[in-house]
Homo-oligomer: A and B are copies of this chain.
Amino acid sequence: MQTGESKIRNPKSKIAPAPLLVVGAVAFDSVRTPYGEAKNILGGAATYFAVTASWFTPVRVVAVVGDDLGEEHLRVFQERGIDTAGLVRSPGKTFRWSGEYSGNMNEARTLETQLNVFEQFSPALPASYLDTEFVFLGNIDPVLQLHVRRQLPRARLTGLDSMNYWIKGKPEELKKALAEIDILMINETEARLLSGISNLKKATEFIRKMGPPTVVIKRGEHGVMLFSEGGIFSAPAFPLDQVHDPTGAGDSFAGGFMGYLAKAGELSDTHLRRAVIYGSVMASYAVEEFGLARLLRLTPKEIEARYRAFKALTHFDV
């Protein structure tokens, strides 16, 4: 820790960190794990991202919700200071997902997906968002991702999440989006599918030539790898006694990663590596309890303590 400089957002600070825009899903999740069950709790990639990023920088959210999203849910965003001007309400029900985790809890088994209002999602940005410099394009149709990106002429750092469904279904559209972003976040299987190369080092070299100078490979319980101009950086996941609910781990990683970068304001190798660790810190807290519970009652002290614990976990002398 550099003395006197906190990585965590200080609401009383007079130097405002840059706002970070996220577009993606706000949803209601029903989740079953060996540790219990939760029904119709507030979730969705954009929600997890926004809540975690809000610990580092002001967040603007773009999403569509139904008329079943009540005051109590909006309050979750408001209490974290998240700007909800871009939260569009449509008649109908909010996106709903239900799934269960078993065994080593590495992957969810989806029981049901109801797209509902999300099916017609066409993100329109409020005028107050148009000066955004830090952007995260959550895992949605690459056509919509590009549509959002092009409404933001002042964007100087854009991250993008995608998945097999779009890599297979809209490869040309995804390629166009990749050419206009700075950071791609995907998992190992997706990197292999996107590049057609099985060796991860070669696959990410190939992908970086498609556009994004930085590629972040999420490996779940095996941590994260960062491929960028500064070389390769590898970070483990934090070993936990209990993982109660893995839902939102990847989105919480992305929120911590992008939130820290927006706070830092620059993209040096040093900051990118720190961002990977802050992302991993947030993901490790996210899975300790069901839904957003643990993320909502974090403290800056806890975030810094786990960052230092990551150092203790990985340090060796040369």
Q: Which residues of A contact B (CB under 8 A)?
A: 1-2, 103-104, 198-202, 219, 222-223, 225, 231-236, 239-242, 270, 273-274, 276-277, 307-308, 311-318
A222 touches B225 (CB 8 A): no
- Please indicate the chain B residues that have their CB under 8 angstroms from the CB of A223 in the complex: 222, 234, 236
- 5 extra interchain contacts, Cβ-Cβ under 8 A, other than A234-B239, A277-B316? A199-B242, A200-B239, A225-B239, A232-B239, A314-B314
Q: What CA separation (Å) do A308 and B277 show in the bound complex?
A: 21
* A289 CB to nearest chain B CB (Å): 16
Expressed in whole angstroms, the minimum distance between the Cβ of A76 and any Cβ of chain B is 30
- Beta-carbon contact of B307 and A311 below 8 Å: no
Asked if B239 contacts A236 (CB within 8 A), the reply is no
Q: Are A239 and B318 in contact (CB under 8 A)?
A: no
A205 to chain B, nearest CB (A): 9
A202: chain B residues at CB < 8 Å are 241
Neighbouring B residues of A235 by C-beta, 8 Å = 314, 316
Measured in the bound complex, the distance between the Cα atoms of B318 and A1 in whole Å is 4
Bound Cα distance from A313 to B308, whole angstroms: 18
A58, chain B: closest CB distance, angstroms? 25
A222 CA to B198 CA, complexed, in Å: 15
| Contact status of A316 and B274, CB under 8 A, knowing A234-B236, A239-B200 | yes
State how many copies of this chain the complex holds: 2
A240: chain B residues at CB < 8 Å are: 199, 201
Q: Closest chain B residue to A7 by CB distance? A: B318
Whether the Cβ atoms of B239 and A313 lie closer than 8 Å is no
A311: contacting residue among B222, B239, B318, CB under 8 A: B318
User: What are 28 A-B interface contacts by the 8 Å CB criterion?
Assistant: A1-B318, A2-B317, A103-B198, A104-B198, A201-B239, A202-B241, A222-B223, A223-B234, A223-B236, A225-B236, A225-B239, A232-B239, A232-B313, A233-B313, A233-B314, A233-B316, A234-B236, A234-B239, A235-B316, A236-B236, A270-B316, A270-B317, A274-B317, A276-B316, A307-B318, A311-B316, A314-B314, A314-B316
Separation in Å of the A226 CB from the closest CB of chain B? Answer: 10
In the docked arrangement, what's the CA distance between A273 and B2, Å?
25
Closest to A317 in B: B270
Docked pose: A307 CA to B231 CA in angstroms: 16
Q: With a CB–CB cut-off of 8 A, which chain B residues contact A313?
A: 231-234
Write out the residue numbers on chain B whose beta carbons fall within 8 Å of the beta carbon of A103. 198
Complex Cα distance A198/B200, Å? Answer: 28
Chain B hits for A312, CB < 8 A: 231
Q: Smallest Cβ distance from A99 to chain B, in angstroms?
A: 20
**Residue of B at shortest CB range from A236?**
B234
Residue in chain B with minimal CB distance to A242 = B199
Bound: A1/B317 CA distance, A: 7
- Evaluate contact between B314 and A308: CB separation under 8 angstroms: no
- Of chain B, the residue at the smallest CB distance from A198 is B104
Q: Is the CB of B1 within 8 A of A315?
A: no
How many whole Å from A121's CB to the nearest CB in chain B?
36
Q: Which residues of B contact A318 (CB under 8 A)?
A: 1, 307-308, 311
